[in-house]
Structure 1
Amino acid sequence: GHPDPCRVSISPEEPTVEFGTSLILNCTSSCRTYSRLSWEVPITKVGAQGPGWVSLNIPNVTDWSLELQCFGVFGEQRDITNTTLRAYRLSPPQIYLEGDVVAGKEARVTCNVSAQVSPSDPPNLSLTLQGGGLPPSTHRGPSVALNFTARLEQHDQKVTCEATLRLGRRTVNASAATVLQVWAAPHDVRVWAPRTTFTAGDNLTVMCRAEGNPTPRLRWELPTNASWELWDGGTAVTIPVGQRMHGGTYRCLAENRYGTGAASIDILFQG
């Protein structure tokens, strides 16, 4: 049978590189019987060579698209291989949350990315937004947005945005992440005392707790004429020697910049 014909090949097969950076390509021959192995390129050739190979060094890629050719001469035969070098720009994605994200309210997260593959062609881009307890959202083009109703459990969860740029059969990725800050109006306000019926002369302590982000401030509305002391940053009201006038409704008001909440307890003094 006939020996296999000699072939030349370029590596990488589909070169892609960030615009303005450097790249080294190799052209190799399947047999050593060539009289010539060389690149044919529209730029100044810089490279090295050795047995069965010749390299091409492009120190600064400033063409968006560059046709490259390598050929080998084997006696009467000649083999030529071509490839296209593609350059791209892909910036890291930017994630934006519009205004404060407040539990129970509608919120919107947006991710934008900037990419370029040539002065004339739009880049083949897709963006995926996911994480943070959100349904994943993928969109073709330089922007993706997602509307959602914020939930408390999303606080401190990570949202990621992944950009994929297609260049022929190759893909280039860039990603970014942010952590959700979910604010919340006061909720789960609780007021309690060891018991609700007291005898004159007893020590009375009424306590209040409230959840919220930021931590709610607490205020009390107390029965009239009640002389009292506040303890523990306003979370407790203490009356060392309770009297009948201290009976009534003890109401705790919790406030932060996103809203208010309240809870109360009725205390009865006997004797």
Structure 2
Amino acid sequence: MDFRLTPRFGYICFFTLFFTVTEIMAGDEIWIHTNPLAVAFGDSLVVNCSTTCAAKAIIMEGIKSTHSKYGDQWKTISSSSIQSWSIVVSCFVRCSSEDGNTKKKMVAVFNRELKITSPPEALEVNKTYSLECIGPRVYPNNKLILTWLRGSEIVQRVSTGETGSPDEDKRLWNVFNFTASGSDDGQEYTCLAEVDLGSNTTKPITNSSVTLQTYYKPRNTILLANNETISESPIHFSNGDNIILICDSQGNPQPTLKWDYPKKCSNIVINPPGVLHISDTTTENNGIYKCTASNELGADEKKVDIRVKDKTAIKAAVSVSVVAAFVLTTGVIIYYLKQNAQKTGEYKLRNAKPNNNPQIPNEDQNQ
């Protein structure tokens, strides 16, 4: 029997063996894990390299190791203080074959030096200002993300596509331009620095905040009468009532409050500013009372019409109303009797008697 291989069959065997070996080698995977995923300059770093094969050798490079541990399929090295801005960890693994495989991983290095430049102490509404944020040093440069937040809302985020050089301290800037509004008074803006870890994951490394103060003219001025908000005008009081009018307004700088009223009376006192007292009111206190809130940016005002009624006049009006009602009732009764008498041919006025209860008279009353 001839066991010689034909050339075609020999090629087939060769390529089958080649791809089989390649598949086995490719199956021996290597993983590199670091803790932390991004390291601050001067902090410690732990690097672990592991593989799926029973390795004959695992060689790690890239950091100055102070401690190391190893097993059949892994090795761990650590550095107590990272003193380089360029960290590229390599792991060489040799399994059963003579040749080995190498895997590399870059670790981002950063510091926490972040600086923000805030606008003036107080902003004027409707004017444009800038908030500047200079980020920390990060290498590679494209791993840094700088974000401005208004409260918890993201208003501007920047990054760079350049890797940069580990020997160059090149900082990222984020300049946010905005127009000041009244709602910015007391509003906190924060610049947040993060390191991009990949796979849509970031690591916050530092932040800094500034709280804004805005100047705006008086607004939302309100009036209260005896601790109740005035929603309509005029408002009515009785003679002898005590009235406390309170004026309040929002503004920065704090508005000055001024009262104007129709007549200077001895029973009107303003103390403290914005609070007007009217004691034992009379009709002389009737009129328009105006509160003006003002600062250097403008003014706002509110008015209320005060009406005081004299109790004596009220009593007289009630008496007149009662008499009028009595006369009207009597007239209606007489008119009814007259109409009824004309129908029967008899009418005797002397038999008509006033009836305080306006109801239809009975037959006895018509006879």
TM-score range, shorter chain: 0.7 to 0.9
Mapped to 1, the partners of 2:283 and 2:115 lie a distance apart of 66
Q: Distance in 1 between matches of 2:190 and 2:81?
A: 32
Residues 1:204 and 1:39: Cα distance change in structure 2 (over 3 Å): closer
Taking CA–CA contacts closer than 8 Å with sequence separation of 6 or more, which of the two structures ends up with the larger relative contact order?
1
Q: Do residues 150 (structure 1) and 181 (structure 2) align?
A: yes
Instruction: Give how far 1:78 is off.
Output: 2.3
Amino acid at match of 1:242: T
CA RMSD of aligned residues (A): 4.1
- The alignment status of 1:138 with 2:138, answered yes or no, reads no
Q: CA deviation at 1:158?
A: 5.1
Q: Does 1:229 align with 2:248?
A: no
Equivalent in 101, 108, 111 of residue 86 of structure 1: 108
Q: Give the Cα–Cα distance (whole angstroms) in 2 for the partners of residues 16 and 184 of structure 1.
A: 45
- 1:1-271 equivalences under 5 Å are 1-2=20-21, 4-5=24-25, 7=28, 9-12=30-33, 16-34=38-56, 36-41=57-62, 43-44=64-65, 46-73=67-94, 74-91=96-113, 94=116, 96-101=118-123, 104-106=125-127, 108=129, 110-117=131-138, 125-131=144-150, 136-140=155-159, 141-152=172-183, 159-166=189-196, 171-174=202-205, 175-176=207-208, 181=213, 184-190=216-222, 195=234, 202-203=240-241, 205=243, 207-213=245-251, 216-227=255-266, 228-230=268-270, 234-242=274-282, 244=284, 246-255=285-294, 259-265=298-304
Compared with structure 1, are the counterparts of its residues 68 and 18 closer, same or farther at alpha carbon in structure 2 (3 Å cutoff)? Answer: same
Query: What is the letter of the counterpart of residue 193 of structure 2?
Result: A
Q: Contact 2:248 / 2:274 at 8 angstroms: preserved in 1?
A: no
Distance change in 2, residues 1:31/1:239 (3 Å):
same
3-state SS of 1:47 partner: strand
1:265–1:53 CA distance, 2 compared to 1 (3 A): closer
CA distance in 1, matches of 2:117, 2:93: 50
Structure 1 residue 241: Cα displacement? 4.1
Q: Which amino acid aligns with 1:187?
A: R
- Cα offset, 1:44, TM superposition: 4.5
Deviation at 1:217, TM superposition (A): 4.4
Opposite residue 104 of structure 2, the aligned amino acid is N
The one-character-per-residue Cα deviations of 1:161-185 (angstroms, maximum 9, x if unpaired) are 3334447887543445555555543
- Structure 2: 5+ residue stretches without partners: 1-19, 160-171, 226-232, 311-367
> Does the 8 Å CA contact 1:93/1:163 hold for their aligned counterparts?
no
- CA gap 1:56/1:269 in 2 versus in 1, 3 angstroms: closer
Distance 2:220 2:107 in 1: 62
Q: Distance in 2 between matches of 1:136 and 1:105?
A: 18
Name the structure with the higher strand share. Answer: 1
Over the matched positions of the two proteins, sequence identity in percent amounts to: 18
Instruction: Tell me the TM-score normalised to structure 2 length.
Output: 0.56
**Structure 1 spans left out of the alignment, 5+ residues:** none
Matches of 2:62 and 2:307 in 1, distance apart?
96
Displacement after TM superposition at 1:39 (Å):
1.9
How many aligned positions are there? 264
Which whole-Å CA distance do the structure 1 matches of 2:51 and 2:152 have between them?
53
CA contact (8 A) 1:187 1:210 kept: no
C-alpha distance in 1, partners of 2:99/2:272?
93
CA distance in 1: counterparts of 2:73 and 2:154, whole angstroms: 53
What is the one-letter code of the residue matched to 1:205?
A: I
Q: Normalized against structure 1, the TM-score is what?
A: 0.72
Verify the 8 A CA contact 1:95 1:176 in the aligned structure 2: no
**1:44-90: per-residue Cα shift (whole Å, max 9, x none)?**
55311122111111111111113433223335232222333432224
Post-superposition offset of 1:98:
3.4
Give the Cα separation in 1 of the matches to 2:92 and 2:278.
Answer: 94
Please list every run of at least 4 consecutive aligned residues from structure 1 whose deviation after the TM superposition is greater than 6 angstroms.
167-170, 196-199, 268-271
**1:33, 1:197 → 2: CA distance?**
97
Q: Which has more radius of gyration?
A: 2
Q: Which has the higher helix share?
A: 2
Cα separation, partners in 2 of 1:183 and 1:76, compared to 1, 3 Å: same
> Which moved further from structure 2: 65-74 or 183-192?
183-192
The CA distance in 1 between the partners of 2:133 and 2:43, in whole Å, is 24
Deviation of 1:26 after TM superposition, in Å, equals: 1.1
Structure 2 vs 1, CA of residues 65 and 188 (structure 1 numbering), >3 Å: closer, same or farther?
closer
